[in-house]
Structure 1
């Protein structure tokens, strides 16, 4: 326990940790303030007016579509026929769903529809902070010689490195839960004052809770990867360089895959995996393919990335990198 307490003090006495955490809090405050100021509660009369406006635009589009069909039928057998499909029934026909009345309303914060995005925003912010702090925490120890000094009185290498990693992940888990509670309270208040909390059933709260748990896992993965990469390179710059290199590499791979005619080049992009993890799925499309149907026209082949697939990929990558860091700690010369 003395090692845990010592590492906790070392973590929070570092100026870099203080700066990053303060930056996280300031960004959160800016988002909350911006959301509060850019939204307002709408009245029943504004909702009625928006519905009437949406209906009006729909009726206009419907009349235009009907006129286009009449022209299409009249153009049969004439040079104008080339401007229309062979079957006039394939012409676009508007539907009421394409004219949502909410598009014609003032900005208002609806908790049910918008809070999921806010959970993802907080998860990405905390995961980035965990990556930077985890990398700096162990990287500075290697760079300053503090790791070698620590091993003089605590020679159990894996225990030392594992404790450091556990302290970073444990504190970020607690911090994420604490900030997540404040985050939820702030947006519930915003929705009450400047929006709507309607349709917030127990199922919706359960869905938000599961999204929050996936966000917490993202934070843990970010902290573990930053820590392990910096430990492997024995320098904070190793983690930052790996992050930049990964970005360049994945873009290059996606470009090469596209040039080679491979299907779904977007599936090689790490952000798409993160999107699938947080939003439960991500649909990748192959725009080089075409599945024609009379009702839908030309549709590309699709591949559905699920949160389970993304989770397995993140877990495997994290385990491999952390295991490599532990192996290097055990086998390499410390001096």
Structure 2
């Protein structure tokens, strides 16, 4: 049996891997069920009800406006006049545009509009699973002494660690591709039953496929980072500790400090923004501290657009840095 085959079997047969993946699948199924039961297909009946509700609320607001006008005029010259505007004609009169029927429509799942959020949700959950499973996969062997025993059989250190990483990445590639296909099919079914797929064109399907491909890359980087950190620290807790520290220090601490210091484009220093830029192709950050609200042209804040190539470069850099450090460490450090 080859080392790669042995490591793949070791990964997929671990109880931790099975339970973690099963728990994630249950969460994903709950999301699908929630989207199914909280949306409904829109037809002529729903449109008619929305139009009737909009008209009813408009009439109710108009009646209330007329009553307020009468009360305002009656209060002129009395102590109650302070409760109303000096000029009753300045009171805002509701218009039909304030009560548009589309605002009263029930929630419906438009695949083209709503599925990108679901694709991002899938990628985020699988990335979390990949990070933890990847860290546990190599961290458990370091802490239990299994890595030392394996290196007695296969003394080529970098080959052993590289084969383990390859088994991890290939396994999560298969898992992500399968889950993405099923996830897409399930939400096509949700859209058919509780929404619409009419706006989907060949270009739209291509955009969805590319987004899911970016999600796959995110999952693989997360798996490699978890694997690399655990290998560097020779314990699963190393990867989890670094992650928790990064979240506390860089997300909450750094975010608070940058906001208090009014640093320009402070959001650009936070990890979630780069993940959104990667999945959604771009994100626009605006600096409202640069707004001149006194200008006649209104607020025109400075903006910074983060694009997916920029985010991709960051992901590639993190991948190379962590995996390279792990390879260097196993090559140069003592195993015992």
TM-score normalised by the chain length of structure 1: 0.84
The Cα shift of 1:256 comes to 2.5
Name the larger-Rg structure.
Answer: 2
Q: What does 1:75-90 align with in structure 2 at a 5 Å threshold?
A: none
The Cα shift of 1:95 comes to 12
Which residue of 2 is the match for residue 121 of structure 1?
Answer: 121
Which residue of 1 is the match for residue 328 of structure 2?
Answer: 327
Which residue of 2 is the match for residue 30 of structure 1?
Answer: 30
Q: What does 1:265-304 align with in structure 2 at a 5 Å threshold?
A: 265-291=266-292, 294-295=296-297, 297-304=298-305
Q: 5+ residue gaps in structure 1?
A: 65-82, 84-93
Q: Within 1, Cα distance between the matches of 2:213 and 2:262?
A: 37
Q: What does 1:66-145 align with in structure 2 at a 5 Å threshold?
A: 101-145=101-145
Q: Within 2, Cα distance between the matches of 1:153 and 1:100?
A: 73
The Cα shift of 1:172 comes to 0.3
Q: Within 1, Cα distance between the matches of 2:151 and 2:163?
A: 13
Which residue of 1 is the match for residue 220 of structure 2?
Answer: 220
Q: Within 2, Cα distance between the matches of 1:304 and 1:323?
A: 30
TM-score normalised by the chain length of structure 2: 0.84
Aligned residues: 307
Task: Report the CA distance shift for 1:144/1:43 in structure 2 as closer, same or farther (over 3 A).
Answer: same
The Cα shift of 1:52 comes to 6.9
CA shift digits 1:73-102 (9 cap, x unpaired): xxxxxxxxxx9xxxxxxxxxx997x97754
Task: Report the CA distance shift for 1:57/1:308 in structure 2 as closer, same or farther (over 3 A).
Answer: farther
Task: Report the CA distance shift for 1:101/1:280 in structure 2 as closer, same or farther (over 3 A).
Answer: farther
Q: Does 1:255 align with 2:256?
A: yes
The Cα shift of 1:240 comes to 0.3
Which residue of 1 is the match for residue 166 of structure 2?
Answer: 166
Q: 5+ residue gaps in structure 2?
A: 66-84, 86-94
Task: Report the CA distance shift for 1:41/1:313 in structure 2 as closer, same or farther (over 3 A).
Answer: same
Q: Within 2, Cα distance between the matches of 1:99 and 1:155?
A: 74
Q: CA RMSD of the aligned region, Å?
A: 2.7
The Cα shift of 1:179 comes to 0.9
More divergent stretch after superposition (257-266 vs 34-43): 257-266
